[in-house]
Amino acid sequence: MLDYEKVVKEFKKYLERFDVNNEMMAMKISHSYHVANLANILAKRLELTEEEKNLARTIGLLHDIGRFVQYEKEQMYSDVKTHIDHGKVAVDYLFKEGHIKDFEIPEKYYHLIAKAIYNHNKLEIEENLSEEELLFAKFLRDIDKIDIFRQQGTSIENWVYKEPINASVKKSFDEHHLVNMKDVKNDTEYTVSQIAYLFDIYFKESFELLEETDNLELFLSTIEVDKGLENEFDKIKMDIRTYLKERISD
């Protein structure tokens, strides 16, 4: 049986090696707990079993465990700029180095945890996953993105829309796909890439939860738009609001 409280206890122990008072570290710690909480809510709505709920919360809590090492080394969270895949770092720490045993998690769940965490930050979910692996991979991507909107809306970063976006970013956004971070060349394109996370949410219940939290609107409200680009940005907001309502009504 998976004891989630033991997982939380070990997670707190793991964090002791880092400067938890650092603002950027604290932001990711908060994100981890928020995602775990969202996991509990979404698991109930998807009518998962009690054991599956504990597994979902565990995956949510541990999904960004690779971020702390990344920030300690590079003082930033960008996988592209640091050349550090934080999903892979997490899986390596937990499974290659064997630290998953520290959390006293039954071994039968290892493959589900590994696949979900490895795939949570990828442009696309890898192929040939089992039905159960795919469920938890989609689940984690959903709850992670729901809270990323909250995190971005409350972070110290300065979100802007101040210049035209390149053709590759525009094409991805217009076609309702995630933006490949390798195509992002400026702050405006980075902002658009974050908004586009909406297009990588899978479950209707996740869209409903996103609307209830108002996290997306919170993020949009923090974006500074330069004069002359208001109409362009208004079209983006109209597009994503329409997309959200359509996915909820499906």
Q: What is the pLDDT of residues 35-47, one digit of tens each?
A: 999 999 999 999 9
Per-residue pLDDT tens digits for 177-203: 999 999 999 999 999 999 999 999 999
Domain parsing of the chain, residue ranges: 1-153, 158-250
Is pLDDT of 31 > 90? Answer: yes
Task: Give the pLDDT of residue 155.
Answer: 86
pLDDT at position 78: 85
Mean pLDDT of 132-155: 97
In this predicted structure, the answer to whether residue 11 has a pLDDT above a threshold of 90 is yes
Q: What is the pLDDT of residues 205-242, one digit of tens each?
A: 999 999 999 999 999 999 999 999 999 999 999 999 99
Burial of 90 (0-12, 13-18, 19+ CB in 10 A): buried
Full-model pTM: 0.95
Give the model's pLDDT for residue 171. 97
Average pLDDT value for residue range 59-75: 95
Mind listing the pLDDT tens digit for each residue in 155-183? 878 899 999 899 999 999 999 999 999 99
Task: Please give the pLDDT value at position 91.
Answer: 98
DSSP SS3 for 225: strand
The answer to whether residues 108 and 80 touch, using CB atoms and an 8 Å cutoff, is no
Rg (CA), the chain: 18
pLDDT one-digit tens code per residue, 92-110? 999 999 999 999 999 999 9
Is domain 1-153 in CATH 3.30.420.40, yes or no? no
Rounded CA separation 29/64 (Å): 9
- Identify the pLDDT of residue 156: 74
